[in-house]
Amino acid sequence: MTPEAIVIYNSFNESIMTLANEQTNSSSKIIAIDMTTDWTDNYMADNLHYNAMGAEEVARRYYAAIEVHLK
């Protein structure tokens, strides 16, 4: 990625977190999941779809984010 693309990408990801925080209220919590940190091409079957290992990683991240709300 070019330096400019990295800035745009990072800004977009930060905006997701901001939006989740702004939309959260006492009756509805929006949980943003970080799917970029430590993501690797090894999780991908092709340029768009993740493989079985990627599916496990997605599930692990979602579960980790919502686990505290399940109890």
- Residue 1 is predicted with a pLDDT of 81
Q: Which of 64, 71, 57 is nearest to 31 (CA)?
A: 64
Which bin fits 25, alpha (ψ -120 to 50), beta or left (φ > 0)? beta
pTM of the model: 0.76
Supply the pLDDT for residue 69. 85
pLDDT of residue 62: 96
Please give the pLDDT value at position 57.
98
Contact by Cβ (8 Å): 11, 3: no
Round to whole Å and give the CA distance between 29 and 18: 13
Residues of the chain under the 70 pLDDT cut: none
CA dist list (Å): 1 to 8, 9, 24, 54:
10, 10, 32, 22
Q: What is the pLDDT of residue 49?
A: 97
Q: Residue 27: its pLDDT value, please?
A: 92
